[in-house]
Amino acid sequence: MTRIVADISVSLDGFVTGPDPGPADGLGTGGEALHHWAFSDDPRDRRVLREATARSGAVVLGRRLFDVVDGPNGWSDATGYGAGEVGRPAFIVLTGAPPRAVRLNDLDWTFVTTGLRDAVAIARRRAEAASSDSGTDLDVVLMGGGATVGSALDAGLVDSLTLHLAPVVLGAGTPLLTGRAPRTLVQRDVVPTSTATHLTYDVVRA
């Protein structure tokens, strides 16, 4: 069965970027520490990343995050989706208007201008089709940014939440859960590593 999985790295004080994020520095000041785990040699980190990439039937991201990953300092052959793990799911971008050009034109991009629910619905159809083709249950992964993940939680669209809790205090930046609607979570898995604590929760539907 295809699930909607929100998967994002976060600091100890609840930020998914450092201060002043932008297209040239998508994670903001100090924010690169949030993703040290994704490039770690710790076998537990590698397993978490490999399993997350393998389950990705389609990936949803917001326009600001797209502009970062598709920008000149964004994804490359070494630092693409899954940080070097093999994974080429469909990418669904929630946006007000499609971009005029795409640098990463070897990836499967769909731009949705009609809202988050439509983006998730399209991603679910793509993930279900990929599941049928592969004979494996694949999920929709909401990779960010923080506003997209938070809005999906508020809208009751998320089945599972995975947080990669980095051992860093950023002090400011883009908050993940501040000001969000109350949600009940059921803890399902905790994987502590040398660079992060990987937390997985089921999201209880209201």
pLDDT in tens, 37-57: 999 999 999 999 999 988 999
Rounded distance, CA 140 to CA 124, Å? 6
CATH superfamily, domain at 4-204: Dihydrofolate Reductase, subunit A (3.40.430.10)
Average pLDDT over residues 109-137: 96
Show me where the domains of the chain are located.
4-204
The separation between CA 100 and the C-alpha centre of its own chain, rounded to angstroms, equals: 24
* Lowest-confidence segment of 9-18, 47-56, 164-173, 187-196 by average pLDDT: 47-56
| Dihedral pair phi/psi, residue 125, rounded to 5° | -60, -40
- The encoded tokens of residue 31 equal 């924010």
